[in-house]
């Protein structure tokens, strides 16, 4: 049976590359919407026609690219659009009708859309990422093709913050490893045996937690961490001054200062081409101070690009990443864990997903979870409702509530100087020795 017949009859089945169609009931009048010049889409030279809907126009087609369940989205969109689900992991698995006719797309983090992929969509006007991150979409290419990209910036803030704190507590109190020891039959009877099996457990009060990125999730983590006795510092070059006073935390103005002061570093920033492998072999292997070395006075002004950068991650520090896998060079992290330069790490996100261990296979003192820090039934429901609402806004001509930023060049000055090539002129100099 042809897909067009399925659409007319309201059928629901897998078509070609695992695509299925769910057909709503009516076709009321509606408005139109498209990307506009001057938005944060990074340019719209390839701007496409508006989304036309109403009784005189075909019903717009909206596709869920990498999922099968549309039961939440359908009630929100059924009076305006036809909704298809594709359950695809690449554009090669997406039905031709979606590529040719879909004006809206919703997607999770399990599919990636490059420029080449985006060019396959002939009618696409808007993509909504069901989640906060959008590094799996080529934002610049989308803007040039006239495709708006939206995210759900408030997605799963509570869940991600809770999961981050769980990871931090696990690293400090070693509950995961203690449980494993008991499962393996380790007998813990004497005080000496307790000391041995719980070696590495540390007191939290008085430790410094450094947050890289201080948006919704970073702030939620800070509030929770303070309740456990952490001193909280953060680095975020895009926030205005003042937020630190309202939350009772300390702001540092250079990333190297945060790394230098923190006993535990937690990542809460988006991924872009300038902060890829923010935690890397070069950063970790700088001459390190020990946990007993006094902290320096905080640096209260950013260093200019090209100046000497002290980026020593504190020896014996913990690392937590529930943001984006590409922020951490996993090969460098594995080596640092084996050498004891990083005391322990907890990762919910990974460079390659689904997680296949790779260089982290034999790394000690490591906790890994499968990109689930965001999940709860409530969070999933809220994200899906918000994504469908954004699609509805696009179809009815309302302004988007969450256009994704698409000009990574504006971020370069704040992140790029961590790369080793910016430090090369200082190698062997007196400034290098001053560290």
Q: What is the DSSP letter of 200?
A: T
Report the length, in residues, of the chain.
435
Q: 250-251 and 264-267 as β-strands: parallel, antiparallel, unpaired?
A: unpaired
Q: Name the DSSP letter for residue 291.
A: T
Catalytic option among 59, 371, 384, 393: 371
What is the distance between the alpha carbons of residues 20 and 260, in angstroms, rounded to a whole number? 53
Question: One of 109, 324, 350, 393 is an active-site residue; which one?
Answer: 324
Cα distance between residue 67 and residue 111, in whole Å: 10
Asked about 353 being catalytic, the answer comes back as: yes
Catalytic hit among 116, 119, 353, 398: 353
- Rounded CA-CA distance 58/71 in Å is 23
433 in Cβ contact with 314 (< 8 Å):
no
| 371 in active site | yes
The DSSP 8-state label assigned to residue 84 in this structure reads E
Q: What count of Cα atoms within 13 Å lies in the side-chain half-sphere of residue 421?
A: 3
- C-alpha separations of 203 from 162, 172, 207, 321 in Å: 19, 7, 8, 21
Q: What is the DSSP string of 233-253?
A: EEE-TTSPTTHHHHHT-EE-S
Active site residues: 324, 353, 371
């Amino acid at each position: 049976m042809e897909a067009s017949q399925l659409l007319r009859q309201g059928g629901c089945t897998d078509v070609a590359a695992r695509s299925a169609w769910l057909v709503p009931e009516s076709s009321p009048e509606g408005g139109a919407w498209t990307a506009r010049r001057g938005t944060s889409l990074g340019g719209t030279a390839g701007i496409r026609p508006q989304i036309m809907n109403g009784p005189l126009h075909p019903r717009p087609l909206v596709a869920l690219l990498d999922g099968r369940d549309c039961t939440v989205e359908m009630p929100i969109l059924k009076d305006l659009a036809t909704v298809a689900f594709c359950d695809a992991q690449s554009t090669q698995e997406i039905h031709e009708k979606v590529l040719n006719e879909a004006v809206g797309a919703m997607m999770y983090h399990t599919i990636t859309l490059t420029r080449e992929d985006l060019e396959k969509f002939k009618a696409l006007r808007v993509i909504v990422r069901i989640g906060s991150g959008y590094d799996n979409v080529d934002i610049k290419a989308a803007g040039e093709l006239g495709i708006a990209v939206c995210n759900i910036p408030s997605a799963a803030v509570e869940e991600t913050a809770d999961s981050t704190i769980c990871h931090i507590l696990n690293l400090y109190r070693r509950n995961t490893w203690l449980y494993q020891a008991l499962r393996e039959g380790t007998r813990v009877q004497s005080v000496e045996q307790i000391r041995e099996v719980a070696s590495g457990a540390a007191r939290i009060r008085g430790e410094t937690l450094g947050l890289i990125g201080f948006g919704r999730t970073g702030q939620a983590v800070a509030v929770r961490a303070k309740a456990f006795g952490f001193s909280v510092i953060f680095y975020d070059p895009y926030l205005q001054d003042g937020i630190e006073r309202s939350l009772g935390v300390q702001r540092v103005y250079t990333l190297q200062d945060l790394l230098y002061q923190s006993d535990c570093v937690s990542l809460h920033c988006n991924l872009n081409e300038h902060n890829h492998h923010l935690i890397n072999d070069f950063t970790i292997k700088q001459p390190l101070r020990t946990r007993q070395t006094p902290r320096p006075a905080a640096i209260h002004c950013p260093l200019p690009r090209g100046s000497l950068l002290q980026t020593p991650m504190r020896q014996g520090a913990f690392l937590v990443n529930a943001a984006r896998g590409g922020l951490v060079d996993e090969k460098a992290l594995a080596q640092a864990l084996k050498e004891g330069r990083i005391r322990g790490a907890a990762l919910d996100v990974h460079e390659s997903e689904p997680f296949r261990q790779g260089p982290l296979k034999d790394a000690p003192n490591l906790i890994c979870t499968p990109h689930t820090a965001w999940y709860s039934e409530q969070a999933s429901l809220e994200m899906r409702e918000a994504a469908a609402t954004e699609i509805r806004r696009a179809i009815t001509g309302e302004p988007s509530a969450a256009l994704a930023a698409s000009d990574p060049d504006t971020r370069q000055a704040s992140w790029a100087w961590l790369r080793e090539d910016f430090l090369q002129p200082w190698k062997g100099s007196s400034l290098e020795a001053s560290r």
